Amino acid sequence: MPQEKIKTPITVLLELTQKCKYSLPNYKFSDGPIYYGNTFHCEVEVANVFAVGFGHTKKEAKQSAASNALEELAEQGSHNDGPQEIDLTSKPTENFIGALNELCDKLKFIRPIFSHVSIVEPQCRIFTCECKVFSMITEGRFSTKKRAKQLAAKHMLDKIQNMSPGSITDLQKLTVKDYKAREEYCRLASALKVNLESGKTEDITQMFRKLMEEQHVSYDDFKEQFQKRDLAGLNYICARLGVKYDMTMLQENPPMACAQFGGGKFTLMALGTTEESATRNLIDEIYIILDVYIGMSDIHD
């Protein structure tokens, strides 16, 4: 008995649109983000659903986009009025986020950091989610935040799984350094000098210690802010310490955000794939600095 030919996602999606009398899928191609390497980017719009797929060939990207569209239609229940013989749920939705966390734990990598950006385009809303592990960044785009996050995790999972053993070892060494970063950062603090509106050049650890003494605050006063690590929390910390800062976009391509403290005496910068992600990365960098120096100032009291 001849084996039944397995239908591709493109074929299944086409059959579904014909059976349910939807407009035919509209596919568009473009180059993928530069950090995916030599990839193709395919977008498909069908039945009020927008999906994105990536691949090393246009055919692979188109199949990926069709597959993601089928999953989204199944999740939204859009196929309920269609023919029962087309099974959109035969393949269970994979938890790429959980798989990525497990892989990072197994390899002793730091866990991924996700950030969302909402992009409004004609006739549809696209959500973009960035996934960051060390300096590696991947992106997922979809019509729902949940699926965008899963796609970002999937791309990062693929990226890590395709890494060479040598690259994995290098990142594992970096992880060990990260565990010791607080101690090493503070050891180097005595060599880092800043001047925040005081007219004096002083050790940055001593400066934070002095500010905390003057404002009668401790590290525990900022626990909630360090847990959330958002802009509102940063403004709160700086206000409590009496530190003024300005945050601006330094350039548009590639997006670079810049924060100047004390009239430019102390400056931090961060890059991103969008203005929103550059700002998010900058806020993360500021929190790393504040976490180290506020924490050490509290310890030495």
Q: Does residue 234 share a domain with residue 196?
A: yes
Q: Does residue 156 share a domain with residue 189?
A: no
Q: Does residue 258 share a domain with residue 202?
A: yes
Q: Does residue 210 share a domain with residue 81?
A: no
d(CA 185, CA 188): 5
d(CA 3, CA 7): 12
* Residue 102 maps to a domain: yes
Asked which of 132, 166, 200 is the last residue of a domain, the reply is 166
Q: How many residues does the chain have?
A: 301
d(CA 66, CA 84): 19
Q: Work out how many domains the chain is built from and give that number.
A: 2
Question: CATH no. for residue 129?
Answer: 3.30.160.20
Helix (H) or strand (E) holding 177: helix 165-179
d(CA 231, CA 184): 27
* Residue 15 maps to a domain: yes
CB environment 272-290: b (16+ within 10 A), e (fewer)? bbbebbbbbbbbeebbebb
* Residue 76 maps to a domain: yes
* Residue 229 maps to a domain: yes
* Range of the structural domain that residue 124 is part of: 9-166
* Residue 4 maps to a domain: no
| Burial of 166 (C-beta count, 10 Å sphere; 0-12/13-18/19+) | exposed
Task: Give the pair of three-digit tokens for residue 296.
Answer: 């050490």
* Residue 176 maps to a domain: no
Check if the beta carbon of residue 59 is closer than 8 Å to that of residue 103: no
The SS3 call for residue 208 is: helix
pTM of the model: 0.40
Asked which of 138, 166, 194 is the last residue of a domain, the reply is 166
d(CA 124, CA 95): 25
Asked which of 166, 200, 218 is the last residue of a domain, the reply is 166
Check if the beta carbon of residue 27 is closer than 8 Å to that of residue 65: yes
* Residue 2 maps to a domain: no
Q: Does residue 162 share a domain with residue 16?
A: yes
Q: Does residue 61 share a domain with residue 86?
A: yes
Q: pLDDT of the chain along its 301 residues, tens only?
A: 455 567 888 999 999 888 888 889 999 887 544 334 456 778 888 887 777 777 778 888 898 888 888 887 876 664 444 433 334 433 445 688 999 999 998 998 888 888 876 554 544 566 788 898 887 888 887 767 788 888 889 989 989 998 888 888 877 776 555 545 544 444 444 333 344 444 443 455 567 777 788 888 888 888 888 888 888 988 998 888 888 888 888 777 778 888 887 665 577 788 877 888 888 888 888 888 777 777 665 544 4
Check if the beta carbon of residue 237 is closer than 8 Å to that of residue 295: no
Q: Does residue 144 share a domain with residue 42?
A: yes
Q: Does residue 55 share a domain with residue 143?
A: yes
Helix (H) or strand (E) holding 40: strand 40-46
Q: Does residue 22 share a domain with residue 137?
A: yes
Q: Does residue 14 share a domain with residue 160?
A: yes
* Residue 3 maps to a domain: no
What does the pLDDT read at residue 160? 92
Q: Does residue 155 share a domain with residue 108?
A: yes
Q: Does residue 149 share a domain with residue 64?
A: yes
